[in-house]
Amino acid sequence: MLRLCCFLIGLISLSSLKAGEYLLSSGVRQVWEAQLRFDWEKVHGALETVTIQEPDNLFYAFLEARTLFLKVILHDNPADLLQFRLRNQEHLEKLESASKESAFSLFCLAEFHLQSSFIHARESEPISAARALRKAFHYNDRNRERHPDFTLQLKTQVVLQALASAIPNSYRWMADLAGISASSRQALQTLQEFRSTLVNQSTYPFLKPELHFIEVFIATQLNENIRAIAVSDDIANHPLVSLSQMLHHQKQRNARAVLQAYQQFRATKASTFPYLFYLQAEALQNSGRSAASFRYFLLNSHGNWFRASALRKLAWEALLLGNPNEYTRRMQQILELEQFPSEEDRQARREAQLQRKPLPGLLRSRLLADGGLYDEALMAAQNDVHQLRDRYDSTEWHYRRGRALQGLNRGTEAVACFDQTIALGQKLPEYFAASAALQAGILLKEKNPTLARNYWRKVGRFPNHPYKKSLDAKAEAFLSL
C-alpha cells in the first residue's frame, strides 16, 4: 500500500511537471520588476508566495535562475556563484520540461543559456561560454522562425547581436565554435524595432528600464552620445536607469555626472552593491578629491573583481600625497592576491610586478582626464615633460596629451599625439598604442571614414597588453558598422 501511494505521488508529481507552462501573470511581472529594482527581499518574498499560488508556472524557475545570475554579476559574492552553479541543472530541467513549441519556453531557454554564457565567460571558462552562447542563439533563432511576431525574443536578439559584433579577434574561434555572427548595426536596428513595438503595444511596460540599460550599453560600446537616448518620465527615477547612467558617464570620462547618477541611485532606496562604491570612489578620485572611498569598497566586497584595481588607486593617492612607502605597501598587497579577473586588476598586477612608479604629473593627468577635467590634465602632463625617463614615459606622455586634447575637441592636435604614441609604443607590451589607434579612428570616423577604419584595424595588431580584449572588441564593433 505504501509503495502504491509513493508511486501515485511520484506519478502526480511527474504529471504536474509535464503539465508546466509559461504564464506571464501579474506575479511574474511583480517579481521581474523587483529584480530590475534590485529589491532582493521583495523578489524572494514574492517568489515564495506566487510559486505556491501558481505551482505549474515555469516562469518562476526562470526568474529564480535570473535572480541568482543578477546577484552573481552585481554582488561578486562567491556564495551566490556557488548557488548559481548548484541549482543550474535543476533550473534547466524545469525549463526544458515545457513544450519546445511555446514562444515563452524558447525565450526563457535562450535567456537562460545567455546568462550561463555570461557566468562562464566571467569565470574564464571560454569553451563552456561558447557552448552556452551557441544554445542561446539556437533557441532564439528557432523562436524567430516559429514565432516571428513574438516581441519578447527581440530583447534576447539585441543582446546576442551586440555580443557577437564585439567579440575580439583573439576570441573569434569562440564565435566560430558557437556558430554566431552579427554586427553592431544589426543590434541597433533590432533595438529600434523592439523599442517601437514596446511603445506601440505596451505589452511589456515593466521592461522599459531593462531596454534602456541595453541601449545605453550598446551606445557606450560604440562611443555614442547618451543625450541621443531619451529617458521617458515613467522610468527617469528608476535605479537601473541611474546605474546605466553611471556606467556610461564613467566610459565617457565625466566624473561629475557619475557622482550625480550615484546620488540618484541612492535616492531610489534600491539595494546597493560593492561595485557602486567602486564607481563612486573612482569618480571622486578623478575629480581631484580623496580616494578614501576605495577602502569602503574593499571592506564591503566579498569577491575578487576590482580588488587589485582599488588597491592600485589607493597606492596612486599615496604617491600623489608624497608617500612613496605607502605606495609600495599597497603594491605589495596586490602581489599577495591570487585572482585578477578584470582588465583593471591585471593592469594593477602588472604595475606592481614592474615596480615602476608612475611620474606624478602623468598620473595626475591620467586621473583628471578620466574625470573630464581636460584643461587641468593637459597642464599636469606638461609638468613632467623634462622628467621623462625613457621610451615608455615618452609614449605615455604623448598619449596623455592626446587624450586631453581630444577631450578639448582639438582633434587635429590629438591625432598628431596619437600618431606619435603609435610610433613610439607599437612594440611596448602596454595599451597606449592600441588605445591611441582606437581613439584616432573615433576622431576621424566622420571626416575620413577610410582612414578611421585603417586606425581601427591596427588595434588588434599590437602586442599583448592588459586591455587587449576590450580594446580589440571595441575596434571590431566599429569595423562592423
Which grid coordinates are listed for 373? 577635467
CA distance 424 to 164: 33
CA distance 34 to 46: 9
Provide φ and ψ at 57, rounded to 5°.
-80, 105
* DSSP bridge pairs for 57: 21
The share of the chain scoring above pLDDT 70, in percent, equals: 88
Our CA angle for 310, 311, 312, nearest 5°, is: 90
Beta-strand runs (E) in 207-302: none
Q: Worst-scoring range by mean pLDDT, 56-65, 345-354, 413-422, 462-471?
A: 462-471
Q: Find the farthest-apart pair of alpha carbons in the chain and give their distance in angstroms, rounded.
A: 93
**Mean pLDDT value of segment 285-309:** 94
pLDDT the model gives residue 3: 41
Which residue carries 505596451 as its cell? 202
Q: Is 448 helix (H, G, I), strand (E, B) or coil?
A: coil
Q: Is 424 helix (H, G, I), strand (E, B) or coil?
A: helix
Query: What type of residue sits at position 311?
Result: L
pLDDT the model gives residue 233: 81
Structure confidence at residue 11 as a pLDDT band (50, 70, 90): very low
Return the axis-axis angle of helices 411-425 and 432-444, rounded to nearest 10°. Answer: 150
pLDDT the model gives residue 1: 39
What DSSP assignment string belongs to 10-74? Answer: HHHHHHHHHT-B----HHHHHHHHHHHTT-HHHHHHHHHHHHHH-TTBTHHHHHHHHHHHHHHHH
pLDDT the model gives residue 172: 58
- Per-residue pLDDT at 148 exceeds 50: yes
361-378 CB burial, b ≥16 within 10 A, e <16: bbbbbbbbbbbbbbebbb
pLDDT the model gives residue 151: 87
Which grid coordinates are listed for 198? 514596446
CA distance 203 to 309: 43
- Per-residue pLDDT at 46 exceeds 60: yes
In 10 A of CB 173, how many CB atoms?
12
pLDDT the model gives residue 200: 65
- Per-residue pLDDT at 302 exceeds 90: yes
Q: pLDDT tens for residues 253-268?
A: 999 999 999 999 999 9
In 10 A of CB 458, how many CB atoms?
19
Average pLDDT, the chain: 87
What DSSP assignment string belongs to 360-420? Answer: HHHHHHHHHHHTT-HHHHHHHHHTTTT---SHHHHHHHHHHHHHHHHHTT-HHHHHHHHHH
Which grid coordinates are listed for 249? 558617464
Q: Which residues make Cβ contacts (< 8 Å) with residue 159, sequence separation at least 6?
A: 114, 214
What DSSP assignment string belongs to 67-112? Answer: HHHHHHHHH--HHHHHHHHHHHHHHHHHHHTS-TT-HHHHHHHHHH
pLDDT the model gives residue 275: 95
Distances (CA, A) of 467 to 44, 188, 398: 38, 25, 19
Structure confidence at residue 371 as a pLDDT band (50, 70, 90): very high
The whole-model pTM stands at 0.86
Q: How far is CA 20 from the centre of its chain?
A: 34
* DSSP bridge pairs for 21: 57
Q: pLDDT tens for residues 191-247?
A: 777 777 766 666 678 888 988 888 887 777 666 554 556 777 888 899 999 999 999
CA-nearest of 31, 59, 62 to 47 is: 31
CA distance 435 to 423: 13
Q: pLDDT tens for residues 160-169?
A: 877 776 665 5
- Per-residue pLDDT at 474 exceeds 90: no
**Mean pLDDT value of segment 260-288:** 95
**Mean pLDDT value of segment 316-338:** 96
Q: pLDDT tens for residues 404-439?
A: 999 999 999 999 999 999 999 998 989 999 999 999
**Mean pLDDT value of segment 264-277:** 94
